[in-house]
Chain A
Amino acid sequence: MSMIRRLLALDGVNVICHFRDDGYLIEGYGLMSHNDMGRLAQFARDYRRIAQGNADQLAMFSGMRGWTPPHGWIIRGVTQSLCGVANLVCVVDSTGAPLNEILLELREVSHW
């Protein structure tokens, strides 16, 4: 069984995707078509680069250490949220999902 698939066992996790550095979808599981998972992987890769760039510039302009390299990001919508850590992204319910636990799991799985 895929290591990332276990994240689907957490409450509120609807989709989990693992992508390459170029945004190509390696594997994805959950309530989403394969085509949309491919789009999600590309989006997550792009957003990761945006977050990285912003953190780099914040650190450079402010001189404050501790922002880079960033560990991840969360975009929280009305009912659905996106969480990205390294080359993983998941779609979770905005309410009721154990976000702290999900982030810890994402971080652990991203090291495998």
Chain B
Amino acid sequence: MTTLDDLMKLPGAMAAFEFRGSGEVLEQRIAYPDRINESTLDLLAHMCAANLSIATMQARGWEKVTGMEGFYPIQEFTLIGFDWSVVVSGLQREHYKQAGKFSLPPFMGVVLANESADYEAAFGILERKEPVP
């Protein structure tokens, strides 16, 4: 059972996906193709990749200006839309970086319906520590 399959078991899960840092979708699961399709998921992944980069820049700047710590590196980004939310994570990549690996796993994300979204459960799956080979 992969992480994508586990994400699809979350309440209100509409889609789960893996994507590169440049935004291209590598793998996906879609529960309701009539509501969200591959093309939309591709745009969403590119938007999330951009937001992770922006948030990373902001976290770096914030820590430098304020002297506060604990924001960088960014682990997850979540956009809560009007009806849907998207939660994406790059935490597994950080584990690989810390282990000195140059080849990094993809980012992962899930699209949830807001009315039943459980953000803590989504973070719980996305932050599950997988063994670094």
Residues of A near any B CB (own CB < 8 A): 36, 39, 43, 47, 50-51, 54-55, 57-58, 61-62, 64-80, 82, 85, 94, 98-100, 103
Q: How far is the CA of A64 from the CA of B40 in the complex (A)?
A: 8
B60-84 interface bits toward A, Cβ cutoff 8 Å, 1 = contact, 0 = none: 0010011011111111111111111
Q: How far is the CA of A75 from the CA of B59 in the complex (A)?
A: 9
Which of A50, A62, A98 has its CB near the most chain B CB atoms (within 10 A)? A62
Number of interface residues of B (CB under 8 A): 39
Q: Which residues of B contact A100 (CB under 8 A)?
A: 118-120
B47 contacts A by Cβ under 8 Å: yes
Q: How far is the CA of A70 from the CA of B120 in the complex (A)?
A: 19
Given the known interface contacts A54-B79, A98-B120, A103-B80, the answer about A77 and B59 at a Cβ–Cβ threshold of 8 Å is: yes
Q: Which residues of B contact A98 (CB under 8 A)?
A: 120
Q: Which residues of A contact B28 (CB under 8 A)?
A: none
